[in-house]
Amino acid sequence: MGLVAAMVVSSHEGMSRFSTFVILPMTFLCGTFFRVEKYPDVIAYFVQILPLTHSAVSLRAIALNTGFPLVSMLVLAAYAVALFALGLWVTYRVE
C-alpha cells in the first residue's frame, strides 16, 4: 500500500493526506485499541474488510496463544497479492 501511495502521490502534502485519511482512521477503527464487536453493524462490517483488523486479530491470537485465525490469514494473503499486483502495475505504468 505504501509503494502504491508513493508512486501515485506527487508531493509530501499528498502523502500526509494519505496518512491522515487512510492510515490514521484504520489505526483507530481496526480493533487495535477498541473492540470491533462494540461498533454498530454497518461500521463493523466495513472494519472487517480492512487489512489492519485481520493483522490485529492475528497478532492478538499469537500473543494469547489461542487458535490462529485462518480466515484472517487468507484475507491478509489476498491483500498481499492484490497490493503486490497493484504495486507492479503502478510501477510499470509510471515508467
The DSSP secondary-structure symbol of 11 reads: S
What is the average per-residue pLDDT within 12-32?
Answer: 83
Q: What is the pTM of this model?
A: 0.79
Give 36's pLDDT tier (boundaries 50, 70, 90). Answer: confident
Taking the alpha carbons of 74, 65, 47, 24 in that order, is the dihedral positive or negative?
negative
Q: Are 77 and 60 in contact (CB under 8 A)?
A: no
Give 12's pLDDT tier (boundaries 50, 70, 90). Answer: confident
Q: Where are the domains of the chain?
A: 2-94
